[in-house]
């Protein structure tokens, strides 16, 4: 049994991805954000939206693993009463997508060039006016970053991104633990009343 080197700081790591199912109740996003702030967790992106169940929302959280331990984030998230389940999917085969809207300076001379680039990236021009176009691009983060790099020479006027959403490939699905009937009467879990 070799000893763990507890002083070792992490080697350079890629971002870690967490998925969380949360109750769709007021204040849940505040609870999550407050947790990240008070524990000093470094988050690259957090997206939240409805699921097929109106009572449940789903979050995708990207953690900067060089500054923050993703397992600690998951273990703290699951403690929140309104967080139903958390799964770390960094090492799972996932489909992950980010969507960006990019407003680029354009003119009659370079519009053809920009359009070609849009085709190559399987992006879309969703608005056009004499001085600029808005491009919509979807894909993994690396693809969006690559496209942003190519568009920069034209002059990016404005950009907005949704942040990453992710889903694990295959027939398994992430739906949280089975619903509970009534766990409020001390059965299932509870504090032992210690002797005085």
Partner 1 sequence: MKRTGAQIVWESLQHEGIEVVFGYPGGAIMPVYDALLDYPQIHHVLVRHEENAALAAGGYARASGRVGVCVATSGPGATNLVTGLADAMLDSVPLVAITGQVSSHLVGSDAFQETDVTGVTLPVTKHNYLVKDVQELGLVMKEAMYIARSGRPGPVLVDICKDVQFASTDYDYNAIKVRLPGYQPRLRGADEQIRRAAAYVNDSKRPVILAGHGIIISGAHAELRQLVEKGNVPVSTTLLGIGCIPESHPLNLRMMGMHGEAWTNHAIQAADLLIALGMRFDDRVTGNLSSYAKNAHVIHVDIDPAEINKNVLTDIGIVGDVKAVLTQLLPLVEHRNRDAWFAQIAEWQAEAKRRDILEKQDDILHVPFVLNEIHHQTQAEREAVTVVTDVGQHQMWTAQYFRQERKNGFLTSGGLGAMGFGIPTAIGASFARPNDEVWVIVGDGGFQMSMPELATIMQEQRPIKIAVMRNGYLGMVRQWQELIHNHRYSEVNITSPDLLKLASAYGMMAMRAQTKAEAAEVIAEARSHAGPVLLDFVVEQEANVYPMVAPGKALNEMLRRPVDERIASGL
- Smallest gap from residue 124 Cβ to partner 1 (A): 38
Binding segment toward partner 1, per CB under 8 A, in 58-66, 116-124, 142-150, 177-185: 177-185
The number of residues in the chain equals 196
Cα–Cα distance between 101 and 190 in angstroms, integer? Answer: 49
Q: Pick one of 19, 22, 144, 165: the residue that binds partner 1 (CB under 8 A).
A: 22
| DSSP secondary structure of 98-156 | EEEEEEEE--TTTHHHHHHHHHHTT-EEEEE-SSEEEEEEEE-HHHHHHHHHHHGGG-E
Decide if residue 66 touches partner 1 (CB under 8 A). no
Decide if residue 24 touches partner 1 (CB under 8 A). no
Decide if residue 9 touches partner 1 (CB under 8 A). no
Binding segment toward partner 1, per CB under 8 A, in 24-32, 58-66, 98-106, 141-149: 24-32
Decide if residue 38 touches partner 1 (CB under 8 A). yes
Decide if residue 50 touches partner 1 (CB under 8 A). no
Site mask for partner 1 (CB under 8 A), range 76-95, x = bound: x-xxxxxxxx----------
Cα–Cα distance between 149 and 59 in angstroms, integer? Answer: 28
Binding segment toward partner 1, per CB under 8 A, in 104-112, 121-129, 151-159, 173-181: 173-181
* Token digits of residue 3: 């000893």
Cα dihedral 162→29→33→164 (10° resolution): -20
Decide if residue 188 touches partner 1 (CB under 8 A). yes
Cα–Cα distance between 106 and 110 in angstroms, integer? Answer: 6
Pair 86, 74: CB distance under 8 Å: yes
Decide if residue 48 touches partner 1 (CB under 8 A). no
Q: Pick one of 31, 97, 143, 161: the residue that binds partner 1 (CB under 8 A).
A: 31
């Amino acid at each position: 049994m070799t000893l763990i080197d507890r002083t070792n700081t992490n080697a350079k790591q890629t971002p870690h991805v967490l998925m969380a199912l949360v109750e769709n109740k007021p204040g849940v996003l505040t609870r999550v954000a407050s947790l990240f702030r008070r524990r000093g967790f470094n988050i690259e992106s957090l997206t939240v939206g409805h699921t097929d169940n109106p009572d449940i929302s789903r979050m995708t959280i990207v953690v900067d693993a060089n500054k923050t331990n993703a397992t600690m984030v998951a273990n703290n998230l699951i403690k929140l009463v309104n967080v139903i389940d958390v799964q770390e999917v960094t090492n799972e085969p996932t489909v992950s997508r980010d969507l960006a809207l990019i407003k680029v300076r354009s003119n009659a001379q370079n519009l053809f060039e920009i359009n070609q680039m849009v085709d190559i990236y399987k992006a879309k021009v969703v608005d056009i006016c004499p001085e600029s176009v808005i491009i919509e691009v979807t894909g993994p983060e690396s693809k969006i970053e690559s496209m942003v790099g190519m568009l920069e020479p034209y002059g990016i006027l404005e950009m907005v991104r949704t942040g990453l959403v992710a889903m694990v490939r295959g027939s398994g699905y992430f739906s949280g633990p089975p619903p509970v009937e009534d766990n409020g009467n001390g059965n299932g879990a509870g504090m032992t009343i210690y002797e005085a």
